[in-house]
Structure 1
Amino acid sequence: MPDTTPTGLTRLAFGGDYNPEQWPESVWREDVRLMREAGVTMVSVGIFSWALLEPSPGTYEFGWLDRLLDLLHEHGIRVDLGTPTVAPPAWFYRAHPDALPVTADGTRYEFGSRGAICHSNADYRAAAAAITTALAERYGAHPGLALWHVHNEYGVPVSACYCDSCAAHFRRWLAGIYGTVDELNEAWGTAFWGQRYTDFGQINPPRATPTVGNPAQALDYKRFADATIRENFRMERDILHRLSPGIPVTTNFMTALSQCDSIDYWAWGREVDLVTNDHYLITDGRRTHVNLAMAADLTRSVAGGAPWLLLEHSTSGVNWQPRNPAKAPGQMARNSLAHVAHGSDGAMFFQWRQSRRGAEKFHSAMLPHGGTDTRVWREVVELGASVDSLSPIRGTRTQADVAVLWDWHSWWAQNLQWRPSEDHDPRERADAFYEALYDRHLTVDFAHPEADLSRYPLVVVPALYLTTEAAGNNLEEYVENGGTLVVSYFSGIVDEHDAVHEGPYPGALRDVLGLTVEEFSPLLKGERVRITGPDGSELSGDVWTEFVVPRGAETVWTYADGLTAGHPAITRHRHGEGSAWYVSTRLDVHGLDALLGWAADDAGITPRADLPRDVEVVRRAGESGTFLFVINHSALDAKVPLEAHGMELLTGEGAAGHLGVPAGAVRVVRLDD
């Protein structure tokens, strides 16, 4: 079996995507010299180089890559070598124009960007296998090779194609899933609107229709598209395993970014040898460090709690958002070390040297257009030294306090057409609940709804519209055995085929919650409701209300106005040894904090009132010791209590009693046993 860490890398990974083909070879030695100055330990190479490596069909030119890999190895820089299958050459598309993907309305994309691929296309698969084989045969035993990097950011920018090749592939996939067309008709509910099929050959992808199509068909097509992309990854991975034994294989995920919500990363996490992730700050006015922590926690969870690797982020601004501000002084290091705190065994960037041409020439880099006499470069060199000083944490694991359930299939189903309210955004609820837990200084693991949850005192369900029977049974067992569960509205409603569970809402969750919902009552835009507690205090909700009927649950808070006035808004069900909370409206920040405070009390979680807002405290532990990361995202100096003496790794100073952390700074304490 391949290792799960980059081969030959004895320190944390630090570096970035290196695209030397954009520069004359006379620049390469200068690059390597500066890499060593910055403390670079690994670079990613060749990800977009197909046209250079295979300039015509079956003709390979490896000389430049030979020289590059030898140069990097000579200077002690490990290589994450890409298979360039995200960007087929122009000659390939000229010979195989049907490999370009088709949209649901029948538009075929053109060559000239990246990721324009029909993953069902046999010619693409053959060409991808050929270039992967050629690379593995030539470099599979290269002494500088640390990691294989298949493709790039699967699902971005195209995840699904609707061409005739995909239609035929979809029919084969459906036959393998359902066996008979009668089973498919039952699962899809094709009796509605006269959609019944008598043969698999009658089925097409969910292309453009006059009005909304069959939601179960659309949901299955999302599963099919994801499975098809994953087939192609496995094809390349298996070639690399066979021809380059012992070298781990990865592909870079984008776990928490909405641009890549078409990928089921729970399934993908089982396919790679090492989970890696790309993360970029979304500068939309929110606290970007909260989404960063969320992405890192989700990536670690996809990795099963094991160390993972941040393969791309930015030194400063990006170039693909409407507005792309620079990072503030110190923010690059704070972002990078936050990823490390949450489980990454390194910090890599896109890219090493900033491009002069092409679509990403204004995307920041480790070596900017301004060269070495720049703030960014000086911060890169300083960060390289900091990352090197943290090498003892390599291989340790981040320790979590609570779990949040997350399921891509449920998101896919929830976001199909014709739901009770377009204002209910399940991702917004996930972000809001995560931020509320973050502000309580709780480190989060994410979990699949059918995963073992027994080690968590508190499990939060922000949005789980699609809830299988197995997931419902899992949550009930969790609460019966002493767990504390918090569930938000419009969860438990449908099964894996988007069919409403038989009986009253909330279907698969009604027993564990001890209630039924007679009717949803979404609110109009801008409308709010008040909810009152037994002591007369008030909370506020919007977007959604429900007519809740307790069936064993106690009413904790009640709607004070609106159509649902007098009905329960927040309930608690003592079930077995544990308790299950349910909230039937969209609470604001204050309300979420109050709800999670009550649930945390039930779960026996001690509040961290001694920690300031926007000061993260995250713990990693393993054979090499216990390490406490304190990340101060605020504009004020902070003082954090320590439960043990230790050594601060970034400054080399001793730490005892309290740890002072300047505004915007990071401190990492190796605690004494």
Structure 2
Amino acid sequence: MNKLVAKEQFELGVCYYPEHWPESMWADDYRRMVEMGFTIIRMGEFAWSIFEPQEGNFQFGLFDRAIDLAHSYGLKVVLGTPTATPPAWLTEKYPEVLNVTYEGVTLQHGMRRHYNYSSPKYHQLCAEIAGQLADHYGNHPGVVGWQIDNELNCEISEFYSESDHTAFRKWLQHKYESLDKLNEAWGAVFWNQSYSDWSQVYLPRPTPSPKQPNPHQALDEKRFISDNTIAFAKIQADIIRAKAPQQWVTTNGLFGHLDSHELNDQLLDFFSYDSYPQFSSIYYDAAEVNPLRDRGWGLSLSAVRSISPNFCIMEQQSGPGGWVNRMDMPSPKPGQMRLWTYQSIAHGADMVLYFRWRTATMGNEIYWHGINDYHNQPNRRVREAAQIGQELVASGQAIVGTVTQAKVAIVRDYDNEWDGEYDVWHGPFMWQSNKEWFKALQHKHIPNDVLYLRSKTTLEELTRYEVLIYPHPAILADETAALLDAYVLQGGKLIFGCRTGYKDKRGQCYMRPFPGAAQSLCGITVEEFTMVKGTRLPTFISWADEPELLTGADSFNEILQVVEDSVEVMGSYASDYYAGKPAVTRNQRGKGEVWYYGAVFNEDAAVQIINHLGLQSPAAAWLELPTDVELQIRESDSSSYTFLLNYSKEPMAILLKEEKRDLLTDQLIVGTHTLEGFGVLVLY
């Protein structure tokens, strides 16, 4: 059971590091937190050498005092296991716990996440510190939950120590049982890579072409890293479950080479996420057309919601962000911190903790600004956090446990994500198409989920949605195609993009006409194809019902050939030597339909398909919104809340055709209403 759903209040709080501040400051800090409406704090995740200054010498005095005092002020405590930063005494005495790079360089003490997940010694030491903490705090009335480690696979998500090579070999032996099956799965006959003894098998290692391993080996490497990460976290989760059964367990992600869905299913009460919308200013592509910027962070929150429909934000951005040498994010403008908080809540968060209470005065994060500045004097961010706190004290209980609603899902899967890191013939396309579809749906005010297809995904899970968008699943097993076909036959609408269906689970190409496992669903084959780059000029598609309308056919073009009478050509190429050839098709299949788009999606193309599908905002009957305002809906059996989020600094006019009440202000609203710049409404 997701223990957030059962909560009776919305928890708002902050990350706090008592070891960073004089003890004389703690009481004043806690008092001000409570006055701001905060109810929960996180601590301890980087404090191993305080809990265990020498091996086997456990000291709890500092955190006993910090937790006892927090409890006396009515603050709940989330305690982190400190295994993300093994102390210097540990790495000096047991260097085998350190991580090693692909090139063979051992990563040393001095930052964080400098360990590997495979070392038996590190397993032992982590079990010991987790057990000691759980013994000591498992019945503490102030401790309500645990965060395992911190940001698994952040900073680095590849591991090449001797322990990792050994663990990978054992993982492969379990998966394939024999070298013959391994050689077949890896296509080892190519370039004479066949193995005759298990001792010859390693994780990818440097080759004559830099970082260019066997692609099937590289895919299995990512699967191994995920399983190995979960096994590492399980050591701590099992101990805490046994010793602290009344306290919940979570951890914070979302990072690479980790099946976070499986992690959550196996180990956690709910998933947690660290939300920093202005990371978008770092990763923003200056060439992108009509960018969403921080609004686009909702796509990541949608992915988190697919793991845990009601989740925790363990770190919510509260100020300008940056380490000494990277991530130089600007300060939130007035109202943006509040906007981002409600962005997280609108997408499913039932608990939010800001990072951090006060900006660190030392270390790499001296510019990762918290709510309070170094001087600890009142500032705009403190006032804004207090406003949010007071709003959620009054209204948060109504929101907790409601679930975000959507009839459209963008479909992903881990195999294609991991394979696509190496395979440039499909990997980059997924991220572009996801972003462009999200953008189109956002501007149409159509909420969407992200749905990860897994071996345990059921038809019932798919039929929650009217439309599934699965842009470029190069790896598509026959059983997955059959599940998608069942979804379509009962009435679902399924949308594919180019590079669909031509690989099996091993990452090997089918000896079938494209789109491989999806051919019968789509009713087409691919006559030929090309990358659109280099000597290839940008190409365009003309839509059958609007021939004069041209939209870009981005990055990759597949020239389609209709093979079933049930297929209708919805768009044709309008340029290059294949002008006039089919580019977009729709196959009526059973009660549903399957679209195939022979390029990488852009917003214009997505809008065309949305219009053909007749998709509308769920609030279209009573609400008119400008494109700058996001709409999200959270519902329970008895209530429905419509979140409106203005991502513009300018006021926006909205039109309500029915009278609604704003949950945050208790104001009745009808007719034309001005939503302030970076403003928020929660209507019911």
TM-score (norm 1): 0.94
2:262 pairs, out of 262, 267, 278, with 267
- Structure 1 residues 58-106: Cα deviation after superposition (integer angstroms, max 9, x where no partner): 1011011111111011110001111001001000000011211111111
Q: Distance in 2 between matches of 1:489 and 1:86?
A: 40
- Superposition deviation, residue 189 in structure 1: 1.4
Question: 1:401-550 counterparts in 2 under 5 A?
Answer: 401-417=407-423, 419-420=424-425, 424-450=428-454, 451=457, 452-525=461-534, 527-534=537-544, 535-537=546-548, 538-550=550-562
Alignment-derived partner of residue 216 in structure 1:
216
User: Is this contact kept in 2: 1:516–1:549, CA < 8 A?
Assistant: yes
Q: Which of 89, 98, 101 does residue 96 from structure 2 map onto?
A: 98
Alignment deviations for residues 158-204 of structure 1 (CA, whole Å, 9 cap, x no partner): 22211221111111111111122222122111121111222322201
Q: Aligned to 1:333, which of 335, 338, 361?
A: 338
**Structure 1: gaps spanning 5 or more residues:** 255-259
- CA–CA distance in 1 between the matches of 2:252 and 2:111? 19
Moved more, 396-405 or 532-541: 532-541
- Cα distance 1:581–1:287, how it changes in 2: closer, same or farther (>3 A)? same
1:621 corresponds in structure 2 to 635
Alignment map for 1:303-314 (pairs within 5 Å): 303=308, 306-314=309-317
Larger deviation: 53-62 or 626-635?
A: 626-635
How many residue pairs match? The answer is 658
For 2:274, the aligned partner's letter is: D
Q: How does 1:128-207 map to 2 (within 5 A)?
A: 128-207=126-205
- 1:230 corresponds to which residue? 230
> CA distance change for structure 1 residues 529 and 606 in 2, over 3 Å: closer, same or farther?
farther
Distance 1:54 1:604, change over 3 A: closer
Pair 1:376–1:439, CA change in 2 (3 A): same
Deviation for aligned residue 1:645: 4.3
User: SS of 1:629's equivalent?
Assistant: strand
1:629 partner amino acid: F
CA distance in 1, matches of 2:157, 2:676: 44
- Cα offset for 1:586? 2.7
**Structure 1 residues 105 and 563, CA gap change in structure 2 (3 angstroms):** farther
2:395 equivalent in structure 1: 390
Q: Indicate which of 21, 42, 45 corresponds to 1:44.
A: 42
Say which is worse superposed, 216-225 or 658-667, in terms of deviation: 658-667
In 1, Cα distance between the equivalents of 2:499 and 2:528?
11
Q: TM-score, normalised on structure 2?
A: 0.92
Distance 1:607 1:490 in 2: 35
Aligned-pair CA distance for 1:587: 4.2
What is the Cα deviation at residue 659 of structure 1? 5.4
With over 3 angstroms needed to count, the CA separation of the structure-2 counterparts of 1:615 and 1:604, relative to structure 1, is closer
- Separation (CA, whole Å) in 2 of partners of 1:664 and 1:592: 27
Using a 3 Å threshold, how does the CA distance of structure 1 residues 290 and 563 change in structure 2: closer, same or farther?
A: farther
Which of 553, 556, 581 matches 1:567? 581
Q: Give the CA deviation at 1:610.
A: 2.6
Structure 1 residues 367-376 or 401-410, which shifts more?
Answer: 367-376
Aligned-residue CA RMSD (Å)? 2.1
Q: Deviations over 1:336-379 (max 9, x none)?
A: 01110111013211111111000001111122224332111111
Measured in 2, the distance between the counterparts of 1:55 and 1:267 equals 34
The answer to whether the Cα contact below 8 Å between 2:437 and 2:602 also exists between their aligned partners in 1 is: no
* Aligned mates of 1:143, 1:568 — CA distance in 2: 66
2:573 partner amino acid: Y
Please state how far the C-alpha of 1:322 moved relative to its aligned partner: 4.9
Q: Hey, what's the Cα distance between the residues in 2 that align with 1:513 and 1:549?
A: 11
Aligned residue for 1:612? Answer: 626
Moved more, 195-204 or 131-140: 195-204
What amino acid is aligned across from residue 31 of structure 1 in structure 2?
D
Cα displacement string for residues 485-509 of structure 1 (whole angstroms, at most 9, x for unaligned residues): 1111112221211011230111121
**Aligned residue in 2 for 1:577:** 591
The answer as to 2:4 corresponding to 1:5 is: yes
Distance across 1 between alignment mates of 2:473 and 2:426? 16
Q: 1:295 aligns with which of 300, 311, 316?
A: 300
Identify the residue that residue 288 of structure 2 maps to in structure 1: none
Map of 2:242 onto structure 1: 242
